[in-house]
């Protein structure tokens, strides 16, 4: 399979390694020095996009216009999803997006969902903490937001989420704390706390390879698909 990499930073280079290990060909490598644009001469089976929120929507739209299935791991653009869905329908294209491509994170999502369903019957308060390296731009992380959305569906006493910034938070609001620390692996924790005890679920990313592997597996999966998908479709978790 020919893969175009849109974004060739640390993540793009890790995806390249995994793709080559799985006997794929990297057909194109786009970066800030050699950007992807509407006039790019591109002949590939699928694109994997890891850039920045300001560029993701343009990159996705251009791939859809070119008839190229695209896997996007960029976060921070999800408010544009309704318009992207219209574009997918118009072009009969394919997009698979995820806030996190780690297979372990999606198992963590499922465990958190089941834990939330259990805790909904009892007097536990939930909170989320996400910790990343200082280079990560968006806060809270896309993974933490996805996690909050999962828990809000299961915990009926929460209606929305909010960043925990020292201000008082309403009882119906699920708090997310974001930390940025030098040279720390991505960590997400869900805590359920009562007067008598605390139960916690934690996912720690040891390296980028897990994210890269998930992205390549997603690219393999989407090749002959049409529509809008997430990793839940790839892993058959829906």
For residues 109 and 134, membership in a common domain is answered with yes
Q: What is the pTM of this model?
A: 0.78
Say how far apart CA 222 and CA 188 lie, in whole Å: 27
CATH number of the domain encompassing residue 39: 3.40.50.720
Q: Is the peptide bond before 129 cis (omega within 30 degrees of 0)?
A: no
181-213 pLDDT, tens digit per residue, is: 988 878 999 999 999 999 999 999 888 888 899
User: Over 90: is that where the pLDDT of 96 sits?
Assistant: yes
CATH number of the domain encompassing residue 171: 3.30.360.10
Whether 132 sits among the annotated catalytic residues: the reply is yes
User: Active site residue: 136, 137, 188, 203, which one?
Assistant: 136
Of the candidates 156, 157, 142, 232, the residue with the CA atom closest to the CA atom of residue 188: 142
CB 180 within 8 A of CB 132: yes
Say how far apart CA 20 and CA 14 lie, in whole Å: 10
For residues 30 and 85, membership in a common domain is answered with yes
- pLDDT score of 238: 63
Say how far apart CA 71 and CA 57 lie, in whole Å: 12
- pLDDT score of 38: 79
Centroid of chain to Cα 27: 24
Say how far apart CA 118 and CA 121 lie, in whole Å: 6
Instruction: Tell me which residue range forms the domain holding 140.
Output: 103-204
If one counts the domains in the chain, the total is: 2
Sort strands 25-30 and 2-6 into parallel, antiparallel or unpaired.
parallel
User: Active site residue: 132, 157, 203, 238, which one?
Assistant: 132
Average of per-residue pLDDT across 211-219: 95
| Block residue for tokens 């394919």 | 94
For residues 9 and 94, membership in a common domain is answered with yes
For residue 205, the surrounding DSSP H or E stretch is: none
5-30 pLDDT, tens digit per residue, is: 999 998 999 999 999 999 999 999 99
Q: Is the peptide bond before 30 cis (omega within 30 degrees of 0)?
A: no
Say how far apart CA 124 and CA 194 lie, in whole Å: 5
For residues 117 and 150, membership in a common domain is answered with yes
Percentage of the residues of the chain whose pLDDT score is greater than 70: 100
Say how far apart CA 6 and CA 62 lie, in whole Å: 11
For residues 38 and 118, membership in a common domain is answered with no
For residues 179 and 218, membership in a common domain is answered with no
User: Over 70: is that where the pLDDT of 98 sits?
Assistant: yes
Cα→Cα distances 62→103, 126, 143, 169, Å: 28, 40, 25, 41
Q: Rg of the chain over CA atoms, in angstroms?
A: 19
- pLDDT score of 206: 84
For residues 71 and 11, membership in a common domain is answered with yes
For residues 112 and 183, membership in a common domain is answered with yes
Of the candidates 100, 130, 115, the residue with the CA atom closest to the CA atom of residue 234: 100
Average of per-residue pLDDT across 120-143: 88
Whether 136 sits among the annotated catalytic residues: the reply is yes
- pLDDT score of 169: 87
- pLDDT score of 153: 96
């Amino acid at each position: 399979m020919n893969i175009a990499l849109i974004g060739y930073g640390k993540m793009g280079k890790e995806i390249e390694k995994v793709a080559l290990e799985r006997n794929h060909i990297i057909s194109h490598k786009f970066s800030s020095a050699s950007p992807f644009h509407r006039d790019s001469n591109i002949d590939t089976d699928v694109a994997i996009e890891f850039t920045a929120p300001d560029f993701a929507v343009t990159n996705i739209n251009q791939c859809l216009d070119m008839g190229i299935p695209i896997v996007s791991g960029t976060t921070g653009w999800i408010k544009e999803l309704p318009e992207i869905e219209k574009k997918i329908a118009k072009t009969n294209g394919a997009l698979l997006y995820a806030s996190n491509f780690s297979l372990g994170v999606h198992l963590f999502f499922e465990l958190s969902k089941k834990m939330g369903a259990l805790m909904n019957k009892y007097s536990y308060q939930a909170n989320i903490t996400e910790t990343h390296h200082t280079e990560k731009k968006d806060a809270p992380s896309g993974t933490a937001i996805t996690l909050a959305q999962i828990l809000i569906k299961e915990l009926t006493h929460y209606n929305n989420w909010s960043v925990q910034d020292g201000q008082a938070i309403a009882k119906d609001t699920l708090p997310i704390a974001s930390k940025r620390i030098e040279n720390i692996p991505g960590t997400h924790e869900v805590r359920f706390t009562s007067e008598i005890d605390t139960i916690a679920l934690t996912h720690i990313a040891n390296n980028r390879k897990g994210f890269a592997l998930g992205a390549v597996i997603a690219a393999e999966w989407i090749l002959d698909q049409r529509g809008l998908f997430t990793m839940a479709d790839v892993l058959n978790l829906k």
